[in-house]
Amino acid sequence: MARVLIRHEAAREALPECWMLHGEVVENLLWIMDTWMIAYHDPASTAVQVADWHERRLPGLDRGPVARRRRPPAAGSG
């Protein structure tokens, strides 16, 4: 999972430290990772799947269980 989110710092920083204790968050992150693997490593994948991942799947984190368990902003960060 770090392989996917490491490049998306905002997504990684949004995860609460206890994310692995919340089954719905783990399932959502596994789904995101699976769709990333298909988009980038499936020989049958096309640029459409890659674009779909960036335009629909990754932003989906802002609407699902990850968003509901989002880490509160650090003090003084805005």
Q: What phi, psi does 44 have (nearest 5°)?
A: -85, -5
More reliable by pLDDT, 76 or 66: 66
Sign for the pseudo-dihedral over CA of 55, 22, 68, 9: negative
**pLDDT value, residue 60:** 73
CB 35 within 8 A of CB 45: no
Question: What is the per-residue pLDDT across 1-56, written as a single tens digit (0 to 9) for each?
Answer: 555 556 677 667 777 778 788 888 888 888 888 999 999 999 999 999 999 988 88
Residue 42 vs residue 75, higher pLDDT: 42
